Structure 1
């Protein structure tokens, strides 16, 4: 999802895009990564690749989330340095911040308290990547930077019934309920946790903007600077999808961090603000779901 959004945005720039899919390059394999960088010699790198998933995936596939993401970060960052990449952007995640940190989350809050247990492996891998970027900047003078996107959604999302993020999960659940005439949709958790959501193409635009204007050690949050409860968000999604039944909540299911809102003052000071409203973004995401899943649209 993130990589595709970056490609759409970079297509608007005067650049030559160098990409490789999983069949061509396994970023967990150091030899493959080093060989690719030596042959392609990219000038700039957006490191968006990661093993990602929703709360169940993070909590179930803990070894994979830790190993895969550590390997990806270590291999790509070191290969970029060895091959003289002029600039690299490492994309982290807002889950790097402590579970009970003061809201909104400021960049300096990283490593000031315990992480949310369900996604701790992913967060630790991302923190390691951030620290690698800092280390290569301080030791070697590499112009490597880190950004922390908030919760993202949009084209290319994963709609797996168990392992998807909340936005994709709700879009699929409400769509299928609408088609089947199901009178009630159950949403995980209590509905009270608050989350910030950013349309993925906006994230890509922010990344390109920062790649052009920012060069410093401090990481930069990317988000809207506004949050909403899961219950309110579910109602938004139901309205866009056209589901008119009831919504209930299952508190036995994991809910994650009580609140996760990014402080985006640093980003605003650098000249970028989000423009896509939540309603508009959900509508675009639902349209993408129907386009990417022809059987869903046909139904």
Structure 2
């Protein structure tokens, strides 16, 4: 009798867990809604990409890479925007990655995490990663005004705004990569007489390079698609020369696409679609490079 009662109790408990666990109607309903939402987003994204590709197919030619913007859409191209994007993103990378990696190393390896100042810095870095991009444009605009810089349409100014935008992301990605390195590597290095700095430079940092590179490239790909902070800083929507330096005027692919989509002529809309496809290809190439670096150099501990 007692055995039968115990079995019934076990079966009742199992049935109760089944109803309240992953197989309960509420859980199944939530999963169905979740998958439908993901399916809807994928279908919408696929339709958008295919439609954009079809609209811009006729202008995916050499003129898009070699010609300058013009009043006639048949003679217009995105050459200054392509070069400007390369200049701005390259400068952003030089300004952001060394500073972000150094800040992450200090915060993760040397700073006292229990100190009140370190806690404030950590919280602010996490919060800054979620601030809208246009806020960084406003911040840069105010900083340039305080510095007395009248001409804000320069490559280094735009790169400064994008650098502040992605700096928190680089710091967070670098810290996560450093945390993924086993503590035994640090302890072994310190045990043989290496200093903490030597341990970081010769052991911890090289082991974290795949994660750092991946996070940095993904952050730069985000910066490549930003237009709001650059427009706020006076990014040119019509440029008839090639950017050739840090103090040169510039335009970028998102700004050029914004300009063409605001035109009433159908030819400019076709150009905007072609430039959007080119920008998408550039973003996919950067993401593919990040995945390649991660898969090629990532270590399993």
TM range (shorter): under 0.3
Q: Which has the larger radius of gyration?
A: 2
Structure with higher helix content? 2
Q: Normalising by the residue count of structure 1, what TM-score does the alignment of the two structures yield? A: 0.25
Structure with higher strand content? 1
Q: Normalising by the residue count of structure 2, what TM-score does the alignment of the two structures yield? A: 0.25
